[in-house]
Structure 1
Amino acid sequence: MTPFAVLLSNLEISEEQWKILSSISYVGCGLSAFFSASTVLSFMFIRIARAEVSSSIHVSLSGALFLLNISFMLSEWTATLGMDGFCVFIAVMIHYSLLSCFTWMAIEALHLYLLLIRVFNIYIRHYMVKLSLVGWGVPAIVVGALLSVYKTKSFYGKNEMTLSDTNKTNAICWIKEPSVLYGVNLSYFTVIFLFNLGILITVSRQIFKLRHVGSMHGKMPVWKDAGTVLGLMSLMGTTWGLAFFSIGFTNYVILYLFCIFNSMQGFYIFLWMCGTMRKNRAQTAQSKTKSSVDISK
């Protein structure tokens, strides 16, 4: 099995730590894949879930996470089959879905900025279509550019990961060149991470300002604000930034946190969607009750 952190780091860890981190990663990816699929199905069959553009963005991110989790869990098994073409396909799917996840995280941040900061004049024609072209199209361009030189230089395929204490190797289907791993993945994510972090800080400040105003009237519990910020962190993928603390050296605490938080991101988004739909139902019921009272008067 393979630790989830290999997506952004070239790991040099012991065999024991590899097995533990791999087990955490596969349990997390299995849960994430299941709940990501549940999020997509909920969006398809529950009418209230399709009422907002925000839900469509959440579902697109969940779809990208589902592809990432499934293709990641197939990476090591595929490497043992000895089918180079299939191994390249799985590696390409992992890379494409990973970059799609990052792009949709940036779109989550952009939409949140338009929704909460620029409250007025935010109408954009064919908004969701344009977001989808960016969310799915930009990663396709990046991966396509790497595949365009496949005959002269193959960046995807079977990659042998060496364990630090036994010199044994674990073969996975992934990017074979560290320069591409860091030069493309880490650079791509760094730009998105800085953008999302800036939006998160701005939105968090707005939330705490509202809390200060609400606290004067005895409202706005602290735990709700904390839950909102944690939910936004999951949507924007800020926990992926833990990868910056494991570059150049091995930090097991960071690796464990990275695998726990990021392999289960689809599960956290499912919880966020459930909370959002529950809130929408409550608001709809409240507005109907208020309308009935007004009519009766």
Structure 2
Amino acid sequence: MLFLLNTWLSSFSNYALCIATAATLHYFMLASFTWMGLEAVHMYLALVKVFNTYIPSYILNCWIQNDVVFFVTVVAFIGLTLLCNMSVFIMVLIQIKRIGANKLAANSHGSVLDLKAVASLTVLLGLTWSIGFFSFGPARVVLVYLFVFLNSLQGFFVFLFHCLMKENVRKQWRIHLCCGRFRLCEDSGSSSF
């Protein structure tokens, strides 16, 4: 969220705010890399040093003991974020519907584009996390598996919707990365005015 607000925060031309934003972004980047490093340690312990591995107090279960604190600091924050993202999702869907209603000739191609926009928004706004948020009751196991499957592919879906499905990106790939008969010339994508 801070990364997205970075440009807006820099418009205030406040040196202290700029330093605080940069320090916070730096912290989040280091935290991400630290978690990746810990995952590497866990993989090593689970896959390489499988037998006779016991480290006392390796992961302590004393993070949040109080249920009220857990619901306020974790569940409420996740719920608020999902609620905000769902609101944005609904507003964008309404706008897409208005744009589609303004077109005189509504065809199936427009519906496919609308469906792609909805699917990409669902992934980008993290709405698949709502499956994990509401995974309780008799369907819990199925919802947890669906949650893990969809969220593990979130980066792939972002790549798919924003790289592979855009005509101009595919054209640039064919210009710079392809060879032989699949390669496009540099001037094939430009038009003369």
* Fold shared per TM-score above 0.5: yes
Q: How many angstroms does 1:185 deviate by?
A: 2.3
Q: Which residue of 1 aligns with 2:161?
A: 272
2:60 counterpart (158, 178, 197): 158
Q: How many angstroms does 1:178 deviate by?
A: 6.5
**Which is higher, the Rg of structure 1 or of structure 2?**
2
Q: How many angstroms does 1:191 deviate by?
A: 0.8
Paired residues of 2:89 and 2:122 also in contact (CA < 8 A): yes
Q: How many angstroms does 1:190 deviate by?
A: 0.7
Alignment partner of 1:238: what SS?
A: coil
Deviation string for 1:149-202 (max 9, x for gaps)? xxxxxxxx334xxxxxxxxxxxxxx95647355432221111111011001001
Partners of 2:73 and 2:41 in 1: CA distance: 20
Computed over aligned residues only, the root mean square deviation of the Cα atoms, in angstroms, reads 4.0
- CA separation of 1:226/1:217 partners in 2, compared to 1, >3 Å: closer, same or farther? closer
Identity of aligned residues (%): 25
- Tell which has more relative contact order, 1 or 2 (C-alpha 8 A, sep 6+): 1
**Aligned positions of 1:217-232 closer than 5 A:** 218=107, 220-232=109-121
**Aligned positions of 1:32-181 closer than 5 A:** 67=32, 70=36, 73-74=39-40, 76-77=42-43, 82=55, 84=57, 157-159=59-61, 175=63, 177=65, 179=67, 181=70
Alignment partner of 2:98: what SS?
A: helix
Unpaired runs of 5+ residues, structure 1, are: 1-59, 88-156, 160-173
Q: Which residue of 2 aligns with 1:198?
A: 87
- CA separation of 1:248/1:178 partners in 2, compared to 1, >3 Å: closer, same or farther? farther
Matching residue's letter, 2:120 = G
Partners of 1:253 and 1:265 in 2: CA distance: 18
1:234 equivalenced with 2:123 (yes/no)? yes
- CA separation of 1:214/1:81 partners in 2, compared to 1, >3 Å: closer, same or farther? farther
Paired residues of 1:211 and 1:220 also in contact (CA < 8 A): no
Paired residues of 2:163 and 2:170 also in contact (CA < 8 A): no
Deviation string for 1:205-264 (max 9, x for gaps)? 111222233352647531221111111110100110112322476622211111111122
Partners of 2:155 and 2:95 in 1: CA distance: 26
Q: Which residue of 2 aligns with 1:252?
A: 141
**Aligned positions of 1:9-28 closer than 5 A:** none
Paired residues of 2:82 and 2:130 also in contact (CA < 8 A): yes
Matching residue's letter, 2:60 = K
Deviates more, 1:236-245 or 1:182-191: 182-191
Higher strand proportion, which one? Answer: 1
Unpaired runs of 5+ residues, structure 2, are: 1-24, 47-52, 173-186
Number of equivalences: 142
1:184 counterpart (62, 73, 78): 73
- CA separation of 1:219/1:241 partners in 2, compared to 1, >3 Å: closer, same or farther? closer
Q: Which residue of 1 aligns with 2:150?
A: 261
Paired residues of 2:164 and 2:170 also in contact (CA < 8 A): no
- CA separation of 1:202/1:240 partners in 2, compared to 1, >3 Å: closer, same or farther? same
2:190 counterpart (288, 291, 294): 288
Q: How many angstroms does 1:276 deviate by?
A: 6.4
| TM-score computed with the length of structure 1 as normaliser | 0.38
